[in-house]
Chains A and B, each alone.
Chain A
Amino acid sequence: MMLRLCLGSLMARALTVAMTIVAIALSVALFLGVEKVRTGAKASFADTISGTDLIVGARSGSVQLLLYSVFRIGNATNNLTWASYQDIAARPEVDWIVPISLGDSHRQFRVMGTSTAFFERYKYRAGQSLAVEKGAIMDDLFDTVIGADVAATLSYAVGDPIVVAHGLASFVEHEDQPFRVSGILEKTGTPVDRTVIVSLEAIEAIHVDWQSGAKIPGQSTPADVIRQMELEPIAVTAALVGVKSRLQVFGLQRAINEYPQEPLLAILPGVALQELWQIVGIAETALIAVSAMVVVTALIGMMATIFSSLNERRREMAIFRAMGARPRVILSLLVLEAALMAALGAVIGLALLYAGLFVAQPLVDATFGLWLPIEPPSLREFWVLLGVVAAGAIVSLVPAFRAYRMSLADGMMVRI
């Protein structure tokens, strides 16, 4: 009876009610969306590296080392000299070590020099290995393996020649030494998708005719001559290390951090990630607070519309009272109306979120490399929605109490 009355009353004012519901729906969609992006970003960061015990680089900050070595964000302050690299590789605790050399680019993508061990040792998403979708892992000096996004964006196929540019944003290209795409990796959802992988020797090879960052004019060494050359790097950017026994990780970390010949830093990827969350945490909280405020604003907007509707409905309320409705019926009628609006808003907001996710998922993935999973609403989201409905009901108590007090006296008086 009450519900029918409510629905009827809402239908009678369909336009205002619809606008209120849209406002609530948008705010709920925003709130849940921010939450999705936040947890999605966290999960995709956490999934990027697994199975690596230590990352070694020049001594800087652990977050910085993690960002440039794994996520290709920012740059190294210093390199890790090859002598130190070999010292670490020779330590008895070390099970495997994979060098990483960054600094060159191909179009908008970074070029990474590494050893073939990278393909076996680099693990993502709880121990998954990289897999070659087409072609094979490089075996010639001028072979490259490219990530899925590189192949898709530049529409490369196996066998295509590519030219690597010196530095990250320069127009100087290493034209003498064109590379060949030997393999394309399967999509991983990690920065590897946006990386052109070459061998460590190849990074040295493309710099054979270069000195101090500039090309020596007129000099060009043929590829075959370069293949015969001893191409030992002077330094690498960082190294991924696997330790034989987990019990030795901390000992090795300390040994590297106290390495007397060169200031080095060894980090545990998980711990560095944790530090990163601590930094990002403040921004995250701010983001959640802002989107929560948007929900609050929408609910206050609803309160305002209920207030203004009270004026139009003075007569209606008075008639209810005259027909024998108690004041608390009036109160619950208004609260129920508000709760219904909030509930509709919450449900439509959820629907908007999923519609938005379906549309934005590939776009966000392509632009930011962030995979937002489309999953059924979590328990947490359910509580958020319930909270919105409850908050809507509570907020409506203010106008409802006013109606409760005024309903009879107010409506029966004829005002001119």
Chain B
Amino acid sequence: MTRLVPTALIILTASAATADETRQLDAHEHGVGQLNIAFDGDQIAMELHAPGADIVGFEYTAESAEDRGLVDAAVATLARPLDLFALPAAAGCSVVQASASLESEEANDEHGHEDHAEHEEEGDDHAEHDHEDEHHAEEDGHTEFHAEYLLNCANPAQATLIDFAYFDAFPNALELEVQVITDRGATAFEVERDAPVLDLRDMF
């Protein structure tokens, strides 16, 4: 028993040396974004997370004027939720608050690289994104667009069909994983480019 103690100590100190930072990175899949929708009273809160590749087609830091223009235009588009996720007119919704921004993940070179290797094995998720040509992406890690909306609706129970014009606005986006919370609980949906409509009739 006593002989074990020094070994244990060494292991402890060894791990302490490397464990002073926590390393974790979110999953990131090109073509797939996340949309959360919460209905509460006459308010609807929405949150969108989408990979930079889906929105602007690249994930390196925009340095050229052209790239920066693309990012600015995308942020402006993302700030108009009702143009992206069209609600039925009967619901009478108006935007109370909308914000959109570009977030880059703070990953170092090595990490970004590893992450990409995994991605490549996943196969066709990367159909729209060629890594051979875009060395920048590997250096800068992934970027994600993030938008939050708050809507006020006269009749939120009428918001049963949401038309995802999002896919028209962003040709690289293939799928949105949607989580919805209403009085009747939470459910998940997948809305794909081929069928860009979300039917929430069962949720009210």
Contact = CB atoms under 8 A, between A and B. Distances in A.
A246 B40 contact: yes
A249 B47 CA distance: 11
Contacts of B188: 268, 270-271, 274-275
B38 A250 contact: yes
A250 B45 CA distance: 9
Interface stretch (B9-17, B76-84, B160-168, B178-186): B178-186
Contact of B181 (A249, A274, A275): A249
- Name the residue in B36, B43, B185, B187 with the highest tally of chain A Cβ atoms < 10 Å from its Cβ: B185
Assign chain A's interface to a size class.
10 to 19
Contacts of A247: 38, 40, 43, 45, 150
B186 A260 contact: no
Contacts of B40: 245-247
A50 interface: yes
Contacts of A345: none
A270 B36 CA distance: 14
Given A268-B179, A268-B181, A250 B47 contact: yes
A246 B150 CA distance: 12
Contact of B185 (A245, A260, A261, A270): A270
A33 interface: no
A271 B187 contact: yes
Interface residues of B, number: 17
Interface string B31-53: 00000101110010101000000
Contact of B38 (A246, A258, A260, A269): A246
Contacts of A161: none
Interface in B35-91: 36, 38-40, 43, 45, 47
Contact of A50 (B22, B24, B26, B185): B185
Given A247-B38, A247-B43, A260 B187 contact: no
- Name the residue in A251, A258, A268 with the highest tally of chain B Cβ atoms < 10 Å from its Cβ: A268
Interface in A236-284: 245-247, 249-251, 258, 260-261, 263, 268-271, 274-275
Given A247-B45, A250-B47, A263-B24, A274 B36 contact: no
B27 to A, nearest CB: 11
Contacts of B181: 53, 246, 249-250, 268, 270
B4 to A, nearest CB: 13
Contacts of B150: 247
Contacts of A270: 181, 185-188
A228 B22 CA distance: 38
B101 to A, nearest CB: 15
Contacts of A263: 24
Contacts of B39: 246
- Name the residue in A245, A246, A258 with the highest tally of chain B Cβ atoms < 10 Å from its Cβ: A246
Contacts of B43: 247
Nearest to A246: B40
A268 B187 CA distance: 8
A173 B47 CA distance: 50
Nearest to A54: B186
A260 B47 contact: no
B22 A271 contact: no
B140 to A, nearest CB: 20
Given A245-B40, A274-B188, A275-B188, A250 B22 contact: no
Nearest to B24: A263
A50 B182 CA distance: 12
A260 B45 contact: no
B24 A249 contact: no
B24 A250 contact: no
A274 B180 CA distance: 12
Contacts of B36: 250
B179 A260 contact: no
Nearest to A62: B188
Contacts of B186: 53, 249, 268-271
B142 to A, nearest CB: 15
Contacts of A258: 26
A263 B43 CA distance: 32
Contact of B187 (A245, A249, A250, A274): A274
A180 to B, nearest CB: 37
Nearest to A263: B24
- Name the residue in B24, B47, B179, B186 with the highest tally of chain A Cβ atoms < 10 Å from its Cβ: B186
Nearest to B150: A247
Interface in A281-328: none
Contacts of A249: 38, 181, 186
Contact of A271 (B24, B26, B45, B179): B179
24 contacts: A50-B185, A245-B40, A246-B38, A246-B40, A247-B43, A247-B45, A250-B36, A250-B38, A250-B45, A250-B47, A258-B26, A260-B22, A260-B24, A261-B22, A263-B24, A268-B188, A269-B185, A270-B185, A270-B187, A270-B188, A271-B179, A271-B186, A271-B187, A275-B188
Closest 4 CB pairs of A and B: A270-B186, A268-B186, A246-B40, A247-B45
Interface of B: 22, 24, 26, 36, 38-40, 43, 45, 47, 150, 179, 181, 185-188
Given A250-B38, A260-B24, 19 more contacts: A50-B185, A246-B38, A246-B39, A247-B40, A247-B45, A247-B150, A249-B181, A250-B179, A250-B181, A251-B47, A260-B22, A268-B181, A269-B185, A270-B185, A270-B186, A271-B187, A271-B188, A274-B188, A275-B188
